[in-house]
Structure 1
Amino acid sequence: MAQKGQHVVPSGGKWAVRRSGASRATVVVRTQEEAIQRARDIAKNQGTELFVHGRDGRIRDRSSFGKDPVLSKG
């Protein structure tokens, strides 16, 4: 998990929200949808990225809640 932000990852049949670089989950919930909502709230509050991983662990979706440096130029 190299990218900065919140990651929704599978965790023993459940879903975890984990901050980039953290060894422990912020929260573990039963459904991916609940984990996405919790992670989205955190990412919006912190102005960071949200990465949603599939059951295979690969990133399948990404949302940005920070300032886009490309858009802020100019």
Structure 2
Amino acid sequence: MLTRQDAKNRFSAVVEAALAGRPREVSRRGKPAVVVISAEEYRRLVDAAQSRRGSFADHVMAFPGGVMERAQARPREVLF
């Protein structure tokens, strides 16, 4: 893992490594912050995630709760 300053100083090498298929982790204040990957790898990961994701309607229809009764609430009185 590289520090942010090391990554900044060797940015060209970090980019070359990512393009060669070797992602580089960069830390900030001693904690992992980002990973530099190639645009091709990023696109592959995004496409894979989107292909596994169903539609919102499918998600809602898969709710295991069954039919829910609506509350029988009366509107409150409003004085003008």
Question: Is TM more than 0.5 here?
Answer: no
- Greater relative contact order: 1 or 2 (C-alpha under 8 angstroms, separation 6 or more)? 1
User: Scaled by the length of structure 1, what TM-score is found?
Assistant: 0.39
Structure (1 or 2) with the greater strand fraction: 1
User: Scaled by the length of structure 2, what TM-score is found?
Assistant: 0.37
Structure (1 or 2) with the greater helix fraction: 2
Larger radius of gyration: 2
